[in-house]
Chains A and B, each alone.
Chain A
């Protein structure tokens, strides 16, 4: 029934049977494509364009490896030494909007992408104070700022084969020569007049650059595109709505669940031509499994938020695609939120690990989803092995593992002209874009989570290209306990929370986990924290100049010492009240997030700075 061509044959009854994983004897979590990669024997430390992680001391792609584990094999910084961490260098980016990017480190150079206007700095790690070697300014169209839904952020660059590749807010993918700072190629992929922008970080694998658009709040038709790494020419594009040929659905497509099967569902699960403005943008993360030669990514919420204007399941929005990395053909799809009612976008990262489940090592995909559930999927088939709530959930009663459908709570169903209260999680979900990290040492997934609920009123949405297409009045507030954020260590095998730290504000930063047994994350007040990976004990913290919503990284400097780097600079959807100087007297400001963040302007101020921490 379920044949994934060329890889793993599996039947519907395979839930308890071992798949043909090549190592069933090893009964501990593994990170298949990540840090086990040895450094190249000679030549500069670099990530080849085949999707491997860089050398141990490098950080060449925001997820660190193509499985997006954000786990570093470095171990000089340990629970014993971490208290000696101090600031080794700082660098002002010159901009005040939200800094969500991960710094990259390749050899002796660090690369930082700023929010709009998307300047790329190359910093020299060999010199005191990290002076800039060169600066690349793409000068994006200023009007692009007016179609970026949730602050003018950028989530970073990716490096391979001597090129630093990233997206600009005005829909260009640029490849910059890492040595000279000159553009090798620039490819324009969409038009701001449709409402499209680009904010995601590319993934590079198989000599290709995978990029997607943003604009699920502006009725943009979502796509993921593969570009040739050397030339920037488009290899394929897969839309998230419309006919099967546009979605690259063909004979290899074998969704696990009945609900995701059928012809041209990208048209038939929409009223009329609504699919043309239906969202499903790929603004989150792309991961890659070299053994299966599949890429995995999520599609955004359907547009508009007002669900009464789009009866149907709204394929292929709010779900996960597995595609052939070379041809782009869809191999499976799992719709997390069919006919999404609450902006439960499906773009969150799919972390690729092998876990002992049901007595066998399984190739799985971990997703801390917007809907508040921690999904463990068999990444060869798209089967949901488990789905457990990791935050307070009232919108659904659970996920039906037989049908793959969420069991919606009818009492929380929004309608036009009705205010539905206490919908948890709120629109930004149990976790938004901010990426998790997985440590194969502890076996825990570290989740930067939100504890937010919302009131929701549907209103009529008018589609005017290049303007918002939302149709909802929303106001958010803290969930039970009053803390708006939580940092959670989750055991995906035992399917339970191991420990957690309550945070006043949503935890909107990324996470890094290390072989030294330490995890790092930042708070929206600006604290950068180090925890014991095993126990969750707070070991060290430092107050940076602004709230942290960036992705921390760790690397080995030219002196052979381990460093940790993070961009400080509040903003993003959660921090828009500060970055955009919004007026919190309006509960619906920032699509309702402002109501939950009225005290953020007292807690932090805006401004982007890189911080580098190291041991004495």
Chain B
């Protein structure tokens, strides 16, 4: 009796162990995986999609809510100074970080690219601001950064600053189509 009980206990324990490790290894839960489309929320950084493109452009995933809003862009300009973005990117010409008023964009200049760049950081030096800045301010920064290169409606673009003149004001800069270069 005793030995049978021990044996059944051992069997039970074994079953638990199997369920915990072995069964997990053996399971094939492909039905539960999120649909592939659910993983395309983030912007793509490649224009090369194996098998060809399906549906809309995978690059563009929407604009900043402040894209056409003068107040939001102006707030972005203020924050660009106060969060020390200006320390690395200067007034768009760059320095420690790359220029933001030219047409070369390492990781793309769509709103979602810029949002990700600010939140996640980038490997060659861009700090990650995740959990440091509220999302609404990040979208204001995104709108301002796009406006630096003239990529905003003229009516919403900032004009001359009340500071030392550093170059042509945002509302007088020619917008140049951005190119994602991929390299610093």
Chain A proximity mask over B102-117: 1 for CB below 8 Å, otherwise 0: 1010000000000000
Check: B62 CB closer than 8 A to any chain A CB: no
Residues of A within 8 A of B126 (CB): 146
What are 29 inter-chain pairs, A to B, with CB distance below 8 A?
Answer: A142-B123, A143-B127, A145-B124, A146-B88, A149-B96, A150-B96, A419-B164, A455-B164, A459-B81, A459-B163, A467-B84, A468-B86, A469-B87, A470-B87, A473-B166, A475-B164, A582-B93, A582-B94, A583-B93, A583-B94, A583-B102, A584-B93, A585-B168, A587-B93, A589-B91, A589-B93, A589-B94, A590-B93, A591-B90
Residues of A within 8 A of B58 (CB): none
Label chain A's interface by main secondary structure. loop
Asked whether, in the complex, the Cβ of B99 is within 8 Å of the Cβ of A468, the reply is: no
Chain B proximity mask over A143-160: 1 for CB below 8 Å, otherwise 0: 111111110000000000
Q: Of the candidates A419, A455, A583, which one forms a contact with B92 in the assembled complex, judged by CB atoms under 8 Å apart? A: A583
Tell me, rounded to whole Å, the shortest Cβ–Cβ distance linking B88 to chain A: 6
How far does the alpha carbon of A475 sit from the alpha carbon of B127 in the complex, in Å?
26
Size class of the B contact interface (CB-based, 8 Å): 20 to 34
Asked whether, in the complex, the Cβ of B164 is within 8 Å of the Cβ of A591, the reply is: no
Asked whether, in the complex, the Cβ of A143 is within 8 Å of the Cβ of B90, the reply is: no
Residues of A within 8 A of B127 (CB): 143, 146, 466-467
Which of A147, A149, A587 gathers most chain B CB within 10 Å?
A587
Tell me, rounded to whole Å, the shortest Cβ–Cβ distance linking A115 to chain B: 13
Check: A464 CB closer than 8 A to any chain B CB: yes
- Contact A457:B88 (CB < 8 A) given known A583-B102, A589-B99: no
How far does the alpha carbon of A145 sit from the alpha carbon of B121 in the complex, in Å?
13
How far does the alpha carbon of A419 sit from the alpha carbon of B173 in the complex, in Å?
23
Residue of A nearest to B132 (CB): A464
Residues of A within 8 A of B94 (CB): 580-583, 586, 589-590
Tell me, rounded to whole Å, the shortest Cβ–Cβ distance linking B180 to chain A: 15
- Contact A581:B99 (CB < 8 A) given known A467-B127, A586-B166: yes
Residues of B within 8 A of A584 (CB): 93
Residues of A within 8 A of B101 (CB): 583, 585-586
Check: B167 CB closer than 8 A to any chain A CB: yes
Residue of B nearest to A141 (CB): B123
Check: A365 CB closer than 8 A to any chain B CB: no
Asked whether, in the complex, the Cβ of B167 is within 8 Å of the Cβ of A586, the reply is: yes
Chain A proximity mask over B122-159: 1 for CB below 8 Å, otherwise 0: 01111100000000000000000000000000000000
How far does the alpha carbon of A143 sit from the alpha carbon of B120 in the complex, in Å?
12
Chain B proximity mask over A545-578: 1 for CB below 8 Å, otherwise 0: 0000000000000000000000000000000100
Check: A282 CB closer than 8 A to any chain B CB: no
Residue of A nearest to B81 (CB): A459
Q: Of the candidates A147, A462, A469, A580, which one forms a contact with B98 in the assembled complex, judged by CB atoms under 8 Å apart? A: A580
**Known A149-B96, A591-B95; 17 more pairs at CB < 8 Å:** A146-B88, A462-B82, A467-B83, A467-B84, A468-B84, A468-B86, A470-B87, A576-B95, A580-B95, A582-B94, A583-B99, A587-B165, A587-B166, A589-B92, A590-B94, A590-B95, A594-B93
Residues of B within 8 A of A147 (CB): 96, 125
Tell me, rounded to whole Å, the shortest Cβ–Cβ distance linking A146 to chain B: 2
Residues of A within 8 A of B124 (CB): 142-143, 145-146
Check: A588 CB closer than 8 A to any chain B CB: yes
Residues in chain A within 8 A of chain B (CB atoms)? 142-150, 217, 419, 455, 457, 459, 462, 464, 466-470, 473, 475, 576, 580-591, 594
Residues of B within 8 A of A473 (CB): 163-164, 166
Tell me, rounded to whole Å, the shortest Cβ–Cβ distance linking A195 to chain B: 10
How far does the alpha carbon of A469 sit from the alpha carbon of B96 in the complex, in Å?
13
Residues of B within 8 A of A594 (CB): 90, 93, 95
Q: Of the candidates B92, B97, B98, B163, which one forms a contact with A457 in the assembled complex, judged by CB atoms under 8 Å apart? A: B163
How far does the alpha carbon of A150 sit from the alpha carbon of B91 in the complex, in Å?
16
Asked whether, in the complex, the Cβ of B166 is within 8 Å of the Cβ of A588, the reply is: yes
Tell me, rounded to whole Å, the shortest Cβ–Cβ distance linking A337 to chain B: 22
Q: Of the candidates A144, A146, A457, A467, which one forms a contact with B164 in the assembled complex, judged by CB atoms under 8 Å apart? A: A457
Asked whether, in the complex, the Cβ of B90 is within 8 Å of the Cβ of A590, the reply is: yes
Asked whether, in the complex, the Cβ of A143 is within 8 Å of the Cβ of B163, the reply is: no
Which of A583, A585, A587, A591 gathers most chain B CB within 10 Å?
A583
Residue of B nearest to A582 (CB): B94
Asked whether, in the complex, the Cβ of B95 is within 8 Å of the Cβ of A589, the reply is: yes
Residue of A nearest to B168 (CB): A585
Leading 9 A-B pairs by shortest Cβ distance: A146-B125, A468-B87, A586-B93, A589-B93, A583-B99, A467-B84, A145-B125, A457-B164, A583-B93
How far does the alpha carbon of A329 sit from the alpha carbon of B38 in the complex, in Å?
63
Asked whether, in the complex, the Cβ of B95 is within 8 Å of the Cβ of A469, the reply is: no
Tell me, rounded to whole Å, the shortest Cβ–Cβ distance linking A208 to chain B: 32
Residue of B nearest to A470 (CB): B87
Residue of B nearest to A304 (CB): B87
Tell me, rounded to whole Å, the shortest Cβ–Cβ distance linking A280 to chain B: 19
Asked whether, in the complex, the Cβ of B82 is within 8 Å of the Cβ of A589, the reply is: no
Residue of A nearest to B88 (CB): A468
How far does the alpha carbon of A545 sit from the alpha carbon of B127 in the complex, in Å?
33
How far does the alpha carbon of A470 sit from the alpha carbon of B93 in the complex, in Å?
16
Chain A proximity mask over B164-184: 1 for CB below 8 Å, otherwise 0: 111110000100000000000
Tell me, rounded to whole Å, the shortest Cβ–Cβ distance linking B87 to chain A: 2
Residue of B nearest to A585 (CB): B167
Asked whether, in the complex, the Cβ of B93 is within 8 Å of the Cβ of A467, the reply is: no
How far does the alpha carbon of A509 sit from the alpha carbon of B73 in the complex, in Å?
43
Asked whether, in the complex, the Cβ of A582 is within 8 Å of the Cβ of B96, the reply is: no
Residue of A nearest to B82 (CB): A462
Tell me, rounded to whole Å, the shortest Cβ–Cβ distance linking B75 to chain A: 16
Asked whether, in the complex, the Cβ of B81 is within 8 Å of the Cβ of A581, the reply is: no
Asked whether, in the complex, the Cβ of B90 is within 8 Å of the Cβ of A146, the reply is: no
Tell me, rounded to whole Å, the shortest Cβ–Cβ distance linking B44 to chain A: 22
Tell me, rounded to whole Å, the shortest Cβ–Cβ distance linking A420 to chain B: 10
Tell me, rounded to whole Å, the shortest Cβ–Cβ distance linking A261 to chain B: 35
Residues of A within 8 A of B166 (CB): 473, 475, 586-588
Residues of B within 8 A of A591 (CB): 90, 95
Residue of B nearest to A573 (CB): B95
How far does the alpha carbon of A455 sit from the alpha carbon of B96 in the complex, in Å?
21
How far does the alpha carbon of A206 sit from the alpha carbon of B127 in the complex, in Å?
40
How far does the alpha carbon of A473 sit from the alpha carbon of B124 in the complex, in Å?
25
How far does the alpha carbon of A149 sit from the alpha carbon of B94 in the complex, in Å?
11
How far does the alpha carbon of A334 sit from the alpha carbon of B17 in the complex, in Å?
73
Which of A142, A150, A469 gathers most chain B CB within 10 Å?
A142
How far does the alpha carbon of A145 sit from the alpha carbon of B127 in the complex, in Å?
10
Which of B98, B163, B164 gathers most chain A CB within 10 Å?
B164
Tell me, rounded to whole Å, the shortest Cβ–Cβ distance linking A139 to chain B: 13
Asked whether, in the complex, the Cβ of A469 is within 8 Å of the Cβ of B84, the reply is: yes
How far does the alpha carbon of A580 sit from the alpha carbon of B86 in the complex, in Å?
16
How far does the alpha carbon of A143 sit from the alpha carbon of B91 in the complex, in Å?
22
Identify which of residues 39-87 in chain B touch chain A, using a CB-to-CB cut-off of 8 Å: 81-84, 86-87
How far does the alpha carbon of A546 sit from the alpha carbon of B136 in the complex, in Å?
45
- Contact A142:B84 (CB < 8 A) given known A455-B164, A580-B98: no
Residue of A nearest to B126 (CB): A146
- Contact A589:B90 (CB < 8 A) given known A142-B125, A419-B164: yes
Residues of B within 8 A of A583 (CB): 92-94, 99, 101-102
Asked whether, in the complex, the Cβ of A586 is within 8 Å of the Cβ of B96, the reply is: no
Residues of A within 8 A of B104 (CB): 581
